[in-house]
Amino acid sequence: MPRPVVALAGGVGAARFLEGLVQVVPPEEITAIVNTGDDRDFFGLRVCPDLDIVTYTLAGIVNRETGWGFRDDSFHCIDALGRLRDDTWFALGDRDLATHIQRSARLREGATLSRVTAEIAEAFGVAVELLPMTEELAPTRVVRRDGSVADFEEYLVRDGAPADVREVDLSAAARAAPAPGLLEALEAAETLLICPSNPVVSIGTILAIPGVRARLEARRSAVAISPIIGGRPVKGPADRLLPSLGVEVSALGVAELYRTLASGIVIDRADAALAPEIEALGLAVRIEDTLMRDSKIAANLAAAALALAGTRA
């Protein structure tokens, strides 16, 4: 059954926002459509970074310092694996590995990623519906100026997110079928939110899934929260990726990206001066404290986004 609030979500920023959202909307009324463009097989284990970050955060077990993985996890397995192979650059904690082992086992048994994601969320007591954007592996690729191509996590983690990005290749997402129920969820939602996630490699990937952008543009009612504060991303490599699309690294640049599908945007107090220019794009603007240092700020931010969406106070 479609849920009234649907949010497009990436990783850490989205997870923190959703942590606020569940304080002002019952989690049973929320669907998060989660980016899977960063998903990758490591040594035969399917790792879904954004799904896991959102799950662990909503379950209250995330490592709050890094934003990913289990709190107080150990890394004995990946360390031992380093004796056996040389591609152990992605830090996978021992407890975290259980999730990847289980997901990989279920996928091999023939379960869909949606099904497995729901099972894992249930096991962790997460009541928000987490919907992967697609059941397929649809890796985002980063093309560097030297012509080399890497999967997103290779670019981000292995290579350290260098600033020489020529192009972000979302063609895999553009060829992927939306997860069952995804387009229906977008159509039936009373409120559409775009979490404060990377507009290129998190939200952009979801928007690249066939039918998603069209559904959002047809309604043009989404409310976005800018992930850029004072011209810099809170976390992640947006400042090195937005320029590749000719987009300014600012709340205004984000508003320009979303202008055809959003009716409003929440921006940080630090960016208040940009409000007139954003309003000139046809977007309603709300100015808030958007740096989610704690879950109270996140709840306030969620309430502000809902108020801007006009459906809840």
Binding span for a copy of itself by CB under 8 A among 119-127, 204-212, 290-298, 304-312: 119-127
Give me the least distance between CB of 110 and a copy of itself, in Å please: 12
Phi, psi of 272 (to 5 degrees): -55, -35
Under the criterion CB under 8 A, does residue 84 sit at the interface with a copy of itself? Answer: yes
Rounded-to-integer distance, Cα 206 and Cα 203, Å: 5
Distance CA 301, CA 289 (A): 7
Q: How many residues bind a copy of itself (CB under 8 A)?
A: 31
- Per CB under 8 A, which region of 29-37, 96-104, 141-149, 272-280 contacts a copy of itself? 96-104
By the rule CB under 8 A, 74 interacts with a copy of itself: yes
**Residue 273 binds a copy of itself, judged by CB under 8 A:** no
Binding of residue 147 to a copy of itself (CB under 8 A): no
The nearer residue to a copy of itself, 94 or 277, going by C-beta atoms, is 94
Q: Is 232 in the site for a copy of itself (CB under 8 A)?
A: no
**Rounded distance, CA 250 to CA 231, Å?**
4
Determine the interface stretch with a copy of itself among 95-103, 188-196, 211-219, 259-267 (rule: CB under 8 A).
Answer: 95-103
- Residue 95 makes contact with a copy of itself by CB under 8 A: yes
Stretch that binds a copy of itself, among 71-79, 133-141, 150-158, 271-279 (CB under 8 A): 71-79
Is 104 a binder of a copy of itself (CB under 8 A)? yes
Min. distance of Cβ 254 from a copy of itself in angstroms?
Answer: 37
Tell me: does residue 108 bind a copy of itself (CB under 8 A).
yes
Which one, 109 or 146, has the nearer CB to a copy of itself?
109
Query: Is 77 a binder of a copy of itself (CB under 8 A)?
Result: yes
- Footprint on residues 46-65 left by a copy of itself (CB under 8 A): none
Sequence-ordered list of residues with C-beta below 8 angstroms from that of 83, at least 6 positions apart, any chain: none
CB of 93 to a copy of itself, least distance (A): 8
- Rounded Cα–Cα distance for residues 14 and 195 (Å): 5
**Piece of 82-90, 174-182, 187-195, 290-298 that binds a copy of itself (CB under 8 A):** 82-90
Judged by the rule CB under 8 A, the positions of this chain that interact with a copy of itself are 43-45, 70, 73-74, 76-81, 83-85, 93-99, 101-102, 104-105, 108, 119-120, 123-124
